[in-house]
Structure 1
């Protein structure tokens, strides 16, 4: 959640709006206007917890 807040602030400074999420089943105007920069930040949001979990399991299990 903290990482999302940081990324949202970055997008607000850069694009003057909040971060948009796009999914295949969403067809509203805001989600279609998502930029590559926002998509990249969302991928980081998804992979960071997975990588942290894998490191935890690798070293502490």
Structure 2
């Protein structure tokens, strides 16, 4: 199963941070997760190195 989590960036901190941490925690438990973000640039300061197996398009 793959989790698809969608995030609409509003303030770059709360909403995106919650979605990012949720995805990271699910992935740490071995789940397959895709985070869909409408503004990827908002993630640059939060996770500049990304995470393992990150893919953006």
TM-score past 0.5 threshold? no
| TM-score, structure 2 normalization | 0.34
Q: Could you say which structure has the larger radius of gyration?
A: 1
Which protein has the bigger strand share? 2
| TM-score, structure 1 normalization | 0.32
Which protein has the bigger helix share? 1
